[in-house]
Structures are given as structure tokens and as C-alpha cells.
Structure 1
């Protein structure tokens, strides 16, 4: 089992755990965590498809230690074998918290009632959490993001959706012909639908109001890009790590017949973003 690099907790001290995928660390996940005591921990099942809060980024949304199981290493275990593994890892475990749809073991044939039978401690099952009669699930949040519905995604997440990337060299037209942008290479994170968004951009410990474009640059070189323009300031940076939080969507990606029309639209996008922040 791989433990989060940011936590140093003796497993013998852990008395309660929450088990799940926890991609998104969203509102419903936080409800599970609320049922853990001060000696609690989070056990994440890593399927390899987590792209809302991949890898180590989950630790940002909890003070509890996080441990990771790789799904491929445990998916063939029978129910008793899975519980045996959990007890070996956390010998003083007294409580397990899961969601109502939690299943485990070979072919996912063991679910909540089996967990209650196999584990000789307290099992707390959190019922389905809804927002305006819509269940809060990571798969729905992914759909919102893919469709560009950032406001709804943020509502279900309980926070602003964020991506993190490394700064790369752009095509060089921004500063000379349009507005300066920071171009990013994004890995692991789910990218929102192509278009222009009102965002916050974090570089080191500084947070800036910004406008971010995602998609194929159909009016210039045609390549796919993630680039953010900092409002008010021309930021000169070669800092590797850049974070972008999405607040609202301005428009779809579209093709312009000439640079003049494109620049006019960019100016309108910036104006809308500034009005949003004001």
C-alpha cells in the first residue's frame, strides 16, 4: 500500500478509515470524512482513471492521512481476504466508513451488507447525497466539466475546479499580436470543453484574475493549447508549476477569418472577465 508522501502517521494509531475512489474530493466524499475520528485516515482505491484530483492532489482537500491501494493489486481478493488485508494494515481499526454504493473484492460482488458481516467493528454507511435532486457523483461532475458547465461542476465539488500544469513555450503570437499568455502542458487532469473561461491563475503563492483558452487554435496554427492571460499584469515567469481555477465559461471556441477579428474578440473576452471580477 502506498501512503501519501505528505503524511507521517503510524498505522497502529489509526482507528477509523473511509474507503472509496474519492476522485474529486467533492461534497459527498467530505460527508464520509466527517464520520472519521481524530485518528482517522482515508483509503483510496486507485483505478488509474482519476482525473478530477489525480495522484497527490487529493491531500490538498483534507487534513487526514491518505493511503492508496492500486486496484489491479486487490481486485481479485475475496471479501475475507480484503478485510484481512485492511486489518493487517490497520491493526487497531474499529470503524469503516463507506458510501451506500460501495462494493469490493473479486468482481465487486461484495457490498455494504457483506462488509458489515465480515468486519468485526463499526460500519457507517453514508446515504446518497444530492444537490437539487441530482446525486453528487464524480461521473456527473466529469460530465459537467466535459460539457463546459463549470458553475455546476463547482457547485457539486464544493470548490473551484482546478488543473495544474507546467509552463511551455507558446507559438509566440500572444505578446506580439494579441495579449501575452502563459502556455501550459497539462497531464492527468480532465480538461473542460474547448472554449474561453474566466479563471484564477496561481503562480507560486500569487493568485491572479485571468482568462483561459482551451482548445485547438483554429484561427492560427491549429494546434491544441491551454493558455491563460493574466488580467492587468504582464507576468514574466518561467516558473514550472501553474494552477488554474475555473470560475465561469465565456464562450465556445470558434474560428476567425483574420487576426483583427480574433483580437477584437479577445478584447471582448477580457472585458467580460473584468466585469465578472468587478
Structure 2
């Protein structure tokens, strides 16, 4: 898969042939997105054309509403999922002020037509400007017969609407099992191993301290059953999200993963954490002995959990 970064206005023939174009922000690349991309891929195979997905480098709300937005995926995580879905090209449009001011007709004329789209695939709620005008119902009017349109209906799973908003709520409330159902796989956080306070080492539970992208959705405070990848290998692990209240004054949030069977130094190594289950909240203990006893119980519980699901 090739990743192409675009800034409006861009030159023609970015991809010098007709394309199947899937549109969306695709945060999380969840089950709904996967269905949309599957439909687009089937059309691409049928027509012997490349599948191109267009996303943005930031959520439109950051420009339109001047809002801080939290994300399920970093761009790198999103790109990895797209590659797994056999996307040929990922176009990352820089969502700047000039792009945000395009009218619905200009978006079609200066973006979609210029990209040489044979067929456009988008979700039922996709918008390309003010939603009362730039919606899927009005899309054919702006297209003027220059490309085909596939409108993908709302997706649900086990009676639950699949959407990025619903997934973020599940993550921030600690419901990692619901998040995984809607995503189609466990929630992932990636980054690198930073220097922590080494409190885990002192307690006999050495931890890898995750340094993560600040705009990622963070699970609620507590302890989780996780799997963690360091140095190319996955380990069952227990991961804490919290302020280390027993030992510290609790001003900085830490995400610390204790990998079962791993005790090497790993500073600055890439780390990936998959989140499976919330097991308990953060507790302030009276002494380190009680904290260590609880951590032993956490380890035992999480090992049993993975023994039963693996």
C-alpha cells in the first residue's frame, strides 16, 4: 500500500488511471468501516481498478468547531489497518482552512473528479460540507453522472450501532470487551517505552512505561488484562492506567505494562498494547506490602483470564 499526503489544491493524475474511491474519516477502522472497504474492494476487483481510500490528517471538527478531538487511531495505526484490508493507496488530505471552505460542488469537481474516480463508496452519513446540503442524498446531483456512487447503510453489531463515538465511550468507560466487538479486534495503543519512576522494579513487577500520542483515547483509570508487544514479541500482560497514588502525589497519568515473562531493559523500544478487560480501579494502599500483594493477585487473575480465552 502506498500512502500519499495531499494538500489542496493538488495537481491532476495523482494516480494515473481510474480508481475506486472510498471516502470517510475512518477513525478506528471499525466493523462498519471494514464493511464499507470490503464493498469498495469487491468493486475494485470486479473493475480491475485500484482501491483508494481518502481520509484526513485531522478531524474536520478541529477546523469547523475549533474543538480538541481524541482519536481511536493514530495515522500509523490507521494505515496499518488499511494495509491489512488490501487497500492499494491511502490518500491523507491535509484538512486546512482552504480545503474546509470548498462548497459541495467544488469538493466534487476539484477533489473527486480530479482524482479520476470511477466509483465512489461512502457511508450513509458521509458529508462533504454543511450536512443539510453536502449529504449522500444530494451526492448524485453534484456528481452529474461523472462517476458511480455506492451508498453504504448504517452498520450495527449485536444490536449496537457501530460508530467511532460509541467506541470512544466504551474505551473511556473501561468496557474494552464492547470496544473490541465494535472495532472487530481489541483496542490498540502504540508508542515507545519511556523512562518511568521504576517503582514497579522496586516492587518486583518491572513495567514498561508507554509514551503515547496525546490525542489518543485513553482507557479509564484502573488495571487491565492486556497483551503487549516489545522487541517483536507479544506477551500476556497487566497494564495500569493511573497516577501511582500509593507512591506518588498523583499529578501525572502513567500507562505502565508489566509483561509476564519479560524482564529486559527496553527504553525507547516500540511498544504496542492490546486492551482486553478492565479488572479493577486504582486503589491507594496504606503501604507497599499491601500494594505488592494486590499486584500478585492481579497477575494471577489476568493469567487465568488469558488461559480461558486463548
TM-score, normalised via structure 1 length:
0.92
Question: 1:3 maps to which residue?
Answer: 4
Report what 1:159 is aligned to: 185
- Aligned partner of 1:238 in structure 2 is 267
For structure 1, which segment, 51-60 or 19-28, has the greater mean C-alpha deviation from structure 2 after superposition? 51-60
What's 1:109 paired with?
133
The 2-side partners of 1:240 and 1:209 are apart by 18
Residue by residue over 1:3-33, the C-alpha shift from the partner in whole angstroms, topping out at 9 and shown as x without a partner, is 269xxx9612342111111000000001111
- The aligned length equals 273
Q: What is the aligned counterpart of 2:142 among 118, 125, 128? A: 118
Q: Is structure 2 residue 295 aligned with structure 1 residue 266?
A: yes
Off by >4 Å, runs of 4+ in structure 1? none
Tell me how far 1:35 sits from its aligned partner.
1.8
8 Å contact 1:103–1:112 — kept in the other structure? Answer: yes
CA distance in 1 between counterparts of 2:20 and 2:118 reads 6
RMSD over equivalenced CA pairs, Å: 2.0
Aligned-partner Cα distance in 2 for 1:101–1:218? 44
Q: Does 1:257 align with 2:286?
A: yes
Structure 2: tracts of 5 or more residues without a match: 7-12, 63-68
CA contact under 8 A between 1:76 and 1:107: conserved in structure 2?
no
Show structure 1 runs of 5+ residues with no match.
none
Taking structure 1 as reference, are residues 192 and 153 closer, same or farther at Cα in structure 2, changes over 3 Å only? same
Shift in Å, 1:181: 0.7
Deviation at 1:178, TM superposition (A): 3.7
Offset at 1:228?
0.4
Distance in structure 2 (CA, Å) of the matches to 1:191 and 1:125: 32
SS at match of 1:71: coil
- Deviation per CA, 1:238-267: give whole Å up to 9, x if none: 243111001111111121111111111100
Secondary structure of 2:282's partner?
A: coil
Aligned equivalent of 2:239, options 212, 219, 237: 212
Per-residue CA deviation, residues 207-228 of structure 1 (Å, 9 max, x unaligned), is 1111100111111112321100
Q: 1 CA distance for matches of 2:219 and 2:141?
A: 42
Instruction: Write the mapping of 1:19-98 to structure 2, written as runs, cut at 5 A.
Output: 19-36=23-40, 37-38=44-45, 39-45=50-56, 46-47=58-59, 49=69, 51-62=71-82, 63-64=86-87, 65-73=89-97, 74-87=99-112, 89-91=114-116, 93-98=117-122
Q: What TM-score, normalized by structure 2, do the two folds share?
A: 0.83
Deviation (angstroms), 1:107: 6.5
8 Å CA contact 2:171–2:220 kept in 1: the answer is yes
Aligned partners of 1:126 and 1:25: how far apart in 2?
A: 15
